[in-house]
Each structure stands twice: as structure tokens, then as C-alpha cells.
Amino acid sequence: MTDTLRLPRVPARTPDRHAPEPQPVRPQPVRPVPPKRDSFFDNAKYLAIVLVAMGHAWEPLRDDSRAAAAFYITVYAFHMPAFIVISGYFSRSFDASPGRLKRLVTGIAVPYVLFEAAYTLFKRRADDDPTYPVSLLDPWYLTWFLAALFIWRLTTPVWKIVRWPVPLALAIAVLASASPEIGDDLDLQRVLQFLPFFVLGLCLKPEHFRIVRRREARILAVPVFATALLFAYWAAPRMNAAWFYRRDSAQELAAPAWAGAVMTLAMFGCSLLLVACFFAWVPGRRLWFTALGAGTLYGYLLHGFLAKGSRFWDWYDHDWIHRPLGAVAVTLIAATVVTLLCTPPVQRLFRFAMEPKMAWAFKETRRGKGRHASPGRRARSAI
């Protein structure tokens, strides 16, 4: 006979009627986490804007120094293409959603209007030209880039669906270089001739940048840049540097139409090679100037007042500036000034013009209809 193990019975608990009912736990709203900035691209943008400022500082020295002209040509061959490639790369997510269109207006269109007006008023006073007209269709000096970036970014969805985007953009650039009738409205020649670099940036992926950042690429960049400098030294007295501005057709540069096609393709290849070499030398780790990469658009637009003012106020009339030590001093001053203009205090001071919120100007966007509808997500700076 087997004994059955009997467990003691536990009396059931009666619920306490006076105990408070448990409150439902309300989920806390999840705040969007801003994407982590890539030090490589911030470094690249900062170094590129320093080269832009140096190039503008060297321009008045070209007639007296063949070496300055060679450095000028070399830098102009790749500094804006590098900027534009980066701008295209960070425009890949542009989908014409309401949030991104708002950012396009507040981050590109509004600064264009404000700085075009500011530059015009500055020229009137500093250059003693009180009748110089204000025209939003004729970008003056540096504002052409904002007009071009606005147009390029609007066309981004088109480049995403065509089969061969870069060859098509090159074909457009070639045709533009042989079309003097395009005119000067919105600097359309520059918009079309620089277009292939923006489209190329749209097509690039992170692994492409990893390739040019390899040690072998950094080593190969040394002879490439050396060869480019030697060629620029040879070409300085023989070549019209206006080809690198891409603001005129071949006929406007006193060349036949076919030369526009040849120069467009040749300069695209040379610029692309130098851009790759430039990226190869850009450090990928965080350095003292990495944070300044977020303020390159500030440095780009603000340094133009000093770059033009130095001509209006005859700063280059001093003989010592046109000597080797003077050229070095001008270079260091340009690099220092543009660095200061990229700093956070300057960004805070001019944010009202560069990154206005303008919530009053737009309808409220309903949340939950897509990742781009959230006002907490902001597109990364173009340059």
C-alpha cells in the first residue's frame, strides 16, 4: 500500500477592496536620437573650406608669382568639386517630403536671399557703387553655390530613377559648355557644368570612401599631387584659369564649341582624380578642427566679405604682400580667418540667417506618416 503525500491547503487570499487599483504604465515618448557625425566628412569639409579661402587669397598674387598661380590652379581643380561631391553624398536621402522641403527652404533658399542682398549692399558701399542692382537671378560672388545646391537637390529624385545618372549628367555638362545662349540667370552654366560632381556624390556609398582612405591610396596621392602641381606650373602662363570656374561656355572663353566638350571631360577626369587624392589625405579620427566641419557654410559665406573687401580696400597694393613671405602670410591669415568663422560662437551669432526655424511660415506636419515627418529629425548640413 502506497502512502499518498498530502500537502497542506493554503487558504486563498481575498482581494482587499480598499487597496488602490494599479495605474497603467504610460509609455514615455521616444525622442529621436540625432545621427552621429562622421569625423571624416567633417574633417573633409573643414579642410576644403580652408582651401577655398586660400584660393581666394591667392587670386591677386597670380600675376606676380608663377608659383602662386600654380597652387591656385591646382586647388581650383578640386576644392569645389570635393565640396559638391560631399553635398551630393549627403543629399541621397532627399525625397521631397515636407520635412526635407522645409529644410531646403530654410537652409538653402532663405540664406541665398539674405546673403545675396547683403553682398549687394556690401558692394554698393565698399566698392563705391551705389547703383549696383539687387537681383536674385544674378548670384554675386559666392551665392551661386546656394542657388546651384537648391536646384541640384530638387532634381535628386530624378537621378535616383535614371539608369546611367553620371554619364547623363556629363552629357548635360558637355552641352552646356558649348551653349553660350544659356545666359547668366542663377549662374546656370555653373549649375550644369558642376552637375556631374553632385550626381556622382548621389551615387557613392560608404565603401567607396573606404577605398580611397586606404594606405595605398594615401601613398599614391603624393606623386599625383606633385604631377598636378608641375603641370599647373607649366600651364599657368598658357591656360585661362576661367575654365575652372565653369561659369562660361567655350565660345565665351574665345574657344571653339568642340573645345568645351574636350575641356569638360578632361577637367572632370582630372578633378575626380584630385578629389580622390584629397579624400585619401583627410584624417578619419576626431581632431581639434573636426567640430568646425559643422560650420563650413558659415565660413564659406562670411569670408566672402573679407575676400572681396581686401580688393575694394586695396589691401594687396602693398609690395611686401607680393613677395614670398607676404604670400605665406596671406595664406596663414586666410586659413585663420575662415577657421574662426566656422566656430560655434559665430554659428550662434548668424544662425538667424543661416538656419532660421521659420515655424510660422509652414503648416504643421502630422507625425507618424514617415520618418521624415518628425520635426526632431534634421537633415545634415550640405557642406
Give 280-338 pLDDT, tens digit per residue.
Answer: 999 999 999 999 999 999 999 999 999 999 999 999 999 999 999 999 999 999 999 99
CA–CA dist 291, 228 (Å, integer): 30
Q: What percent of the chain has pLDDT over 90?
A: 82
Quickly tell me which residue has 522641403 as its cell: 101
CA–CA dist 45, 378 (Å, integer): 19
Q: What percent of the chain has pLDDT over 70?
A: 86
Render pLDDT for 133-189 as a digit per residue (tens, 0 to 9): 989 999 999 999 999 999 999 999 999 999 999 999 999 999 999 999 998 899 999
Q: Is 83 exposed, middle or buried (0-12, 13-18, 19+ CB in 10 A)?
A: buried
Could you give the 3-state DSSP secondary structure of residue 16? coil
Residue 49 CB coordination number (10 Å): 27
The pLDDT of residue 364 is: 81
CA–CA dist 283, 42 (Å, integer): 10
Radius of gyration of the chain (CA): 28
Largest CA distance in the chain: 122
> Which residues touch 234 (CB under 8 Å, ≥6 apart)?
none
Residue 35 CB coordination number (10 Å): 9
Residue 262 CB coordination number (10 Å): 14
**pTM, two decimal places:** 0.86
The pLDDT of residue 258 is: 96
Which of 86, 91, 130, 131 minimizes the C-alpha distance to 107? 91
Render pLDDT for 331-359 as a digit per residue (tens, 0 to 9): 999 999 999 999 999 999 999 999 999 99
Which of 163, 188, 162 minimizes the C-alpha distance to 173? 188
The pLDDT of residue 183 is: 82
C-alpha cell at 232: 599647373
